[in-house]
Amino acid sequence: MKKSMCSLGLILALSVPDAEAVNREIRALFQPDPSQPSKNVFINKTPNSGYCASYPGECAQHNMFSIQLPVRFSSTRALYQGEVIPIKVPANWRRLTVTHTETQETETVEVRITGIGSNYVLSHPAHELVGISDVIEGHRKLWTSSSWVYAPAPCQYSGVGAYGPEHYRFFWKTPVEESCVKRTAYPIPSMYFETLDFAYELRTPNPLGMSSGLYTGSMPYTLGSLGDFDLGPLMTPDDANLTLDFVLDVQHTLKVEIPPGGNKVLLEPQGGWRSWLEQGRKPVRLYRDQTFNISASSRFTMRLECEHDLGFGSDCAIADGGYGGSVATSVSLPDGLTDSAGQPVRRMPLSRHAPTSPFQPGIYVDRKPGTLHFEMGERDTHWLINNAKGRPYKGNVTVIWDSEV
C-alpha cells in the first residue's frame, strides 16, 4: 500500500505543468553566389510577421525584419495621470552556441534585438479619455510626448504608425539596452499590448569554414518586469519565457569539371619523343599537366586511389603486366584556395595512403582553373624504357575531392 502511494505521488509530481513559454524558429541559409563570390554571408529566411509584414517598405528602408509573437502584456490596474510605461529589450549582443546536427561541430552566433513594437489597446477610445472628438489627436494628447509613433529616447523612430479609436500600432528602433519611457497625460482605466513584435540582428560565423548541414542552438529570454523584455511593473505578460531556436543551413558547393578527353593522360618527355627516337637521348622524366575547373565554398581534402602501385611509397604506378614505374601526383589550386596554414597550394603531393590536410576557401571559388601534375622521375623512366616489350604502360589513377572533412 505504501508503495502504491509513493508511485501515485510521483505521477502527480510529474504531471505538474511547466511554466508557459513561447518558442520561435529563426532560420538562415548560406548558398554560394557565383555572381558575388566575395559575399559569404547567411541570408535570413525567416518570414516577416507583425510590423514588417504590414509595412514592408518601411522595414526595407531601415534594413529591418520582424517577428510577431502571441504574447499579451496587460495592465495590472488603472494607470493614473503621470505614470510611466518603460520599455526595455535585450539590445546588447548576446552569444549562443550552434551545433552541427551530425558532426557535433560548434560555432558561435550573436544576436541582439534592434526594434520593439506592438499594438496597444485601450479600455476606452483615446479621444474620449482626453475629452475631445478627434481620434488621432486623442492618441497624441493621451501621452506627454505625443503619440507612440514618436519614440522616446534612446529609442528611435522607425516609420509610420497605425491607429483606431481604441488602438495604436507602433514600432521603435532600439540602438541601446536602456528603457524608453512613455508617460500618461490622462488616467487610463486599463490597457494591454496585444502582441510582442521585435526586430533582431545576427552575427553569424564565416560559412566557408563550416561543414554542410544544419547547425542548431537556442537563446532563452525572460518576459516581464525586470526581465529581458520589460514593460515595467504595471504590465504583466501572459507568458513568462521566450526561446529563439536558431537554425543555420549551410549548403556548400564542391564541383570539379575535367575538360573533354581530360580523363586520358599521356605521359611524355618534355618536347616529345623525338630526341630519344632520333638521337637516342633518354628522357629524364615523363610528365603531363592536366587542368580542371573547380567550384568550392567549403573545406575539402584530396587523395588517390590506384589501380597499380609498387607496394611501397605513396604514389600510384603504371605497368605493362610485368614491369611498372611510380607516378607522382600533385595538385596546384587557384587563388582563393589555401592549405591548412593559409598558404597558396602549388604542386602539393597527393597520396594513396591518406588525404591531404584540408584546403580552405577564402572566398567562393567559381569555376577557376587548377592543375593536376603527373610525373615519373628519371630512375623509373629509364627502368621502363630499358625494359619495354612493345606493350604500353598504363594504369588508372583516381583523384578524390572530399568535402566531408
- CATH (domain of 298): 2.60.40
Q: Which domain holds residue 120?
A: 18-250
Confidence of residue 6 (pLDDT cuts 50, 70, 90): very low
Residues 235 and 321 in one domain: no
What torsion do the CA atoms of 337, 331, 210, 353 make, to the nearest 10 degrees?
Answer: -160
pLDDT of residue 172: 93
Tally helices (H) and strands (E) across the chain. Answer: 7, 26
Pick from 2-11, 127-136, 200-209, 296-305: least confident: 2-11
**Using CA atoms, how far apart are residues 315 and 333, in angstroms rounded to an integer?**
20
Residues 258 and 371 in one domain: yes
Question: Do the domain assignments include residue 12?
Answer: no
Pick from 3-7, 58-62, 161-165: least confident: 3-7
pLDDT above 70 coverage of the chain, percent: 95
Residues 242 and 281 in one domain: no
Which strand (E) or helix (H) includes residue 275?
Answer: helix 274-279
**Using CA atoms, how far apart are residues 18 and 123, in angstroms rounded to an integer?**
32
Q: Which pTM value belongs to this model?
A: 0.81
Q: Which residues make Cβ contacts (< 8 Å) with residue 375, sequence separation at least 6?
A: 285, 286, 287, 327, 328, 330
- Domains of the chain: total: 2
Residues 285 and 245 in one domain: no
Q: CA angle, corner 327, sides to 324 and 330, nearest 5? A: 170
pLDDT of residue 86: 98
CA atoms within 13 Å, Cβ hemisphere of 154? 10
| Strongest mean pLDDT among 30-34, 286-290, 318-322 | 286-290
Residues 68 and 184 in one domain: yes
Question: Do the domain assignments include residue 8?
Answer: no
pLDDT of residue 20: 58
Residues 259 and 213 in one domain: no
Question: Do the domain assignments include residue 4?
Answer: no
Residues 294 and 241 in one domain: no
Last residue of a domain, one of 250, 265, 295: 250
E strands, 227-364, where?
A: 235-237, 241-250, 254-257, 286-296, 301-306, 316-319, 324-332, 337-338, 348-349, 360-361
Confidence of residue 14 (pLDDT cuts 50, 70, 90): very low
Instruction: For residues 220-244, give the mean pLDDT.
Output: 96
| Strand-strand pairing, 180-183 and 94-100 | unpaired
Average pLDDT, the chain: 89
pLDDT of residue 388: 77
Residues 347 and 208 in one domain: no
| Strongest mean pLDDT among 188-192, 356-360, 379-383 | 188-192
Question: Do the domain assignments include residue 44?
Answer: yes
Strand partners, 229: 223
Instruction: For residues 191-202, give the mean pLDDT.
Output: 94
Residues 203 and 338 in one domain: no
Instruction: For residues 28-43, give the mean pLDDT.
Output: 88
Residues 319 and 229 in one domain: no
Query: Who has greater pLDDT, 369 or 320?
Result: 369
Confidence of residue 12 (pLDDT cuts 50, 70, 90): very low
Confidence of residue 4 (pLDDT cuts 50, 70, 90): very low
Instruction: For residues 152-181, give the mean pLDDT.
Output: 93
Residues 105 and 220 in one domain: yes
What's the grid cell of residue 144? 506627454
